[in-house]
Amino acid sequence: MPDTHTTDALRTRFIEQTGLSLQAEGLPRIAGRVLGMLIFDGERVAFGDLATQLQVSRGSISSSIRLLEERGLVKRTTEPGVRQDFFQLADNPYATMLAGIQQRQRSRRDEIAKTINLLPEESDAIGRLRAHAQFYASIDAAMGVALAQLNASEETYVGQQPVKPGE
């Protein structure tokens, strides 16, 4: 097997790709890598392991985790008698992400709508701003569709569920 196709190499690449991809969504790269690691590994991961395996400072892990928890993508668990915190994907992180995107588009649309309402009626910018708002409204609606679609396949694909064979 070529050493770029070992599970470990694929895992590393996936984590790195996730970091870049989530960076484009406005999260720090390390937060994306944390998420990637949690997705790939599945089982809960210790705070210390995140820092050592991703080779970043504990401070970075702490702040990344905080962001991911705030967004509802990751949950923290503890265990009596064990000092480290553990982390794993939240229950349905993808629905949460979609809802977040939807919310941002909606806010932007409302912002534009507010501008439209304050403009003098005869302003010829109004038509163009309406088209602009319509753009965000259509993304908003589309996210609703995506959410529905995602929920439909939720029984098979929830964040933390064990994987069913076959499929």
146 binds its own copies per the rule CB under 8 A: yes
User: Exactly one of 16, 29, 39, 53 binds its own copies (CB under 8 A); which one?
Assistant: 39
Note the residues at the interface with DNA (CB under 7 A): 27-31, 46-48, 55-66, 81, 83-85
Which residue, among 74, 83, 11, 7, has the nearest Cα to 44 in the 3D structure? Answer: 74
Interface with its own copies, residue 103, by CB under 8 A:
no
Q: Please state, in angstroms and rounded to a whole number, the distance separating the CA atoms of residues 1 and 51.
A: 29
Distance (Å) of CA 82 to CA 31, 47, 52, 54, 79? 24, 12, 18, 22, 5
Q: Which does 124 bind (CB under 5 to 8 A by kind): its own copies, DNA, none?
A: its own copies
For residue 30, give the nearest of 56, 10, 11 by alpha carbon: 56
The binding site for its own copies (CB under 8 A) comprises 5, 7, 10-11, 13-14, 17, 21, 24, 26, 39-42, 89, 94, 97-98, 101, 104, 108-120, 123-135, 137-139, 141-143, 145-146, 149-150, 153, 157-167
